[in-house]
Amino acid sequence: MSEKPKSIRVVCATRLPQNAFLTQSLTGFSLRAFVSASPIELTLFPENQRGLAEVYNMAIERFINEDSILVFVHDDVLFMDYHWGEVLRAGLNVFGMVGVVGNTRRQKNQPGWIVTDLKGTLDDYAFLSGTVGQGNAFPPERLDVFGPVGRECKLMDGLFLAVETETLRRTGLRFDPQFKFHFYDVDFCREAERLAVSMGTIPLAVSHGSSGPLSKAWKETYPAYLEKWKD
């Protein structure tokens, strides 16, 4: 008799009320559309004003003692794969944590998975991995193909990160609540590396509804990240 697949718990924070999230946000709308093919349990933090690291840790503590997959996702991610749950499970058979885009290396003082400095200089594509759409419809307004998927990474984008609760129990991996909306994902990847949790990209078709220049708040958070890691 085959083992029952681990349940998938999607963890998402949004400033929208709960009903509006399900009908108006890209994440809520597309998850509802595909739920019959990729069943999920949704843990939503509606009308949220707290930092992402804080609410993600709250979800971890809530479900840490069950065997499931936790998916931390922004509320503006359009899922475009009916069977994304199968893709997710296959990826977690290879890596301890998975995302959709990432970087196979990490350079000294690197402030983001794709940029090498605060000016927003892009890293060499030879070290990047994964594909993500940009825009709020299908087909996406733009398709960013960064590199071959399925590569082991040092840093990954926080728009979509997934890990099994067993890994979180075994290693004690958590988000650092000092990073509220910026650097929480880069820091989480650093913590995963420190705890020997492997990371890699999966071939998941999603589109990100928001993108733009590096913000002032992001740049202002960088010193705290640098102070913690020293490089």
Look at residues 145, 159, 162 and name the one whose alpha carbon lies nearest to residue 200.
162
- Reduced to 3 DSSP states, what percent helix, strand and coil does the chain have, rounded to the nearest 5? 30, 25, 45
Domains located in the chain, CATH noted = 7-229 (3.90.550.10)
CA–CA distance, 45 with 60 (Å, rounded to integer) = 13
pLDDT score, position 128: 98
Residue 2 has pLDDT above 90, yes or no: no
Alpha-carbon gap, residue 23 to 155, rounded angstroms: 32
pTM attached to this predicted model: 0.95
Contact 133, 139 (CB under 8 A): yes
pLDDT digits (tens, 9 = 90+) for 134-143: 999 889 999 9
105: pLDDT strictly greater than 50: yes
Supply the angle between the helices 216-229 and 184-194 in degrees, to the nearest 10.
Answer: 20
Q: What are phi and psi of 222, to 5 degrees?
A: -55, -45
Q: Which pLDDT score is estimated for 212?
A: 59
CA distance 146 to 154: 15
DSSP 126: G
State mean pLDDT over 139-162. 97
Residue 17: pLDDT over 80:
yes
User: Rounded to an integer, what distance in angstroms lies between the CA atom of residue 108 and that of residue 97?
Assistant: 23
Give the pLDDT confidence of 177-215 residue by residue, as tens digits: 999 999 999 999 999 999 999 999 999 999 999 765 578
SS (H, E, C) 140-172: CCEEEEEECCCCECCEECCCEEEEEHHHHHHHC
Q: How confident is the model at residue 1 (pLDDT cuts 50, 70, 90)?
A: very low
Q: Please say if the pLDDT value at position 47 is more than 90.
A: yes
